[in-house]
Amino acid sequence: MAVVLASALFIRLGLWQWHKAELSARAVAEYQERARLPPLTIDDRLVDAARANAAPITARGRYEPQFQFFVDNRQHNGVPGVHVLTPLKLESGETRLLVNRGWIPWPDGRRSVLPEVPVPDGIVVVTGMAEVPSTKPFFLMPETADSPERLWPRVDLARFERLIHRPVQPVVLLQDQNDAQDGLLREWPPPPDKTLMHRGYAYQWFGMAAALGIFCGCAMVRRGRAMKDESGSGV
């Protein structure tokens, strides 16, 4: 009974990892497919976040530097820095779109002073890729930064909407590297492909189930032979 239960558990874990491998492969395929789509124009109407995620987008409007903030704990090649988030007031109405303009290191490596990042004036056209920010809180990190006020631990669209009291698009625009010459670094890696990793785990669980079955079978055969030998010697 213990062998049956353990084998069933190993097989279930293997199927779970195989399912995760399929989800990872599907996510990578969808990402690549959406990246080839023509840019979607973002206007005052709120988009469907699930359908827009990872798709090319473009928007026209005016930056609002008074609401610009920074996302902490962003590194590039081991150098600590921040992401620069600037809201774009869309030209067609009152809706805002957060634009991740890229990465910049801390000035002189010090966290006591926020970077000075100029904001383009006037009407601009911004292009990039849509991203749905994660709502999962970071482990052992506060939901809001205590000081300074413009340094956030993560992109929080609900918090930003409460701040400006205006509708906010449910996606963030990750600006293209060549979209502006502002000294910011914009490298947006694709989602990690964990298909092979999860399949490897699945094979391990299936292998453990098979090994347990073989071990149990061999043990039963040996026990049967021993009992037969004992009964034969008793005669």
Are residue 93 and residue 166 in the same domain, yes or no? yes
Split into its structural domains, the chain has a count of 2
> Are 158 and 98 spatial neighbours (Cβ–Cβ below 8 Å)?
no
Mean pLDDT is highest, among 34-43, 106-115, 121-130, for 121-130
* Bridge partners (DSSP) listed for residue 46: none
166 or 139, higher pLDDT:
166
Question: Does 103 lie in the same domain as 203?
Answer: no
Give the residue numbers spanning the domain of 217: 2-21+195-234
pLDDT tens sequence across 71-84? 999 999 889 999 99
Per residue in 135-154, pLDDT tens?
766 554 454 444 468 899 99
- At residue 90 the predicted structure's pLDDT band, cuts being 50, 70 and 90, is very high
C-alpha closest to that of 160 among 100, 73, 98, 115: 98
Q: How far apart are CA 47 and CA 173, in angstroms?
A: 12
Helix or strand run (H / E) with residue 33? helix 2-35
Model-level pTM? 0.74
Residue 83 within any structural domain of the chain = yes
Q: What percent of the chain has pLDDT over 90?
A: 51
Q: For 113-129, what is the mean pLDDT?
A: 93
Question: Where does the pLDDT of residue 23 fall: very low under 50, low under 70, confident under 90, or very high at 90 and above?
Answer: confident
Q: How far apart are CA 175 and CA 57, in angstroms?
A: 9
Q: Is 48 domain-assigned? A: no
| pLDDT (0 to 100) of residue 120 | 93
Looking at the structure, do residues 160 and 62 belong to the same domain, yes or no? yes
What mean pLDDT is predicted for residues 201-222?
A: 85
Do residues 227 and 125 both lie within one domain?
A: no
Q: Which residue has the higher pLDDT, 116 or 221?
A: 116
152 plus 214 within the same structural domain: no
Residues 163 and 216 in one domain: no
- The dihedrals phi and psi of 67, each to the nearest 5 degrees, come to -110, 10
Q: What are the pLDDT digits (tens) for 95-111?
A: 999 999 999 999 876 78
Flag whether 202 is in a domain.
yes
